[in-house]
């Protein structure tokens, strides 16, 4: 299970006997939403995405495992045109990133790397926050 507690993105192994959390990324300003993309045979690294309301950005960390151990690579995915990115969802089938921004009252989409960004909804929205996808149903 992944969660954000403003300052950290944490992981809890719910199948383990102990329920202690592991900090995946620490020292954040105001992490709000979190989602992930499992590694596949085509792209073996798993990626965790999160929004940071204070930084007005969407970030990701790539968790790659190699013969020399695990390494973390943190990247900013979207950093312009955001005010309050609250909700976040990864489409693992269409390989898209969706988010809400309650400050500019929009729902947007981009490729997983932040390119090909598009506003989907902006009319008659009042502080959109959480978002969830059901990719199998489109």
The pLDDT tens digits for 15-66 are: 887 778 899 999 999 999 999 998 877 777 889 999 999 999 999 999 876 5
Q: Which two tokens stand for residue 3?
A: 């969660």
Pick from 85, 133, 134, 91: nearest CA to 112: 91
How many Cβ atoms from other residues are within 10 Å of residue 73's Cβ?
A: 11
Flag whether pLDDT at 9 surpasses 70.
yes
Contact 62, 72 (CB under 8 A): yes
The pLDDT tens digits for 54-88 are: 999 999 999 876 555 566 878 999 999 999 999 99
Report the C-alpha gap between 6 and 27 in whole angstroms: 9
Pick from 38, 111, 10, 73: nearest CA to 99: 111
Q: Which two tokens stand for residue 5?
A: 């507690």
Domains and CATH numbers, the chain: 2-137 (2.120.10.30)
């Amino acid at each position: 299970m992944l969660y954000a507690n403003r300052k950290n993105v944490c992981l809890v192994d719910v199948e383990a006997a102990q329920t202690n959390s592991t900090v995946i990324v620490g020292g954040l300003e105001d992490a709000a939403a979190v989602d992930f993309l499992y590694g596949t045979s085509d792209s073996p690294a798993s990626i965790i995405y999160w929004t940071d309301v204070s930084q007005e950005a969407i970030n990701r960390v790539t968790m790659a495992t190699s013969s020399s151990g695990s390494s973390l690579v943190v990247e900013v995915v979207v950093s312009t045109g955001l005010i309050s990115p609250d909700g976040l969802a990864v489409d693992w089938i269409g390989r898209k990133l969706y988010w809400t921004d309650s400050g500019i009252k929009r729902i947007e989409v981009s490729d997983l790397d932040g390119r090909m960004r598009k506003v989907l909804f902006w009319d008659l929205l009042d502080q959109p926050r959480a978002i969830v996808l059901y990719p199998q149903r489109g």
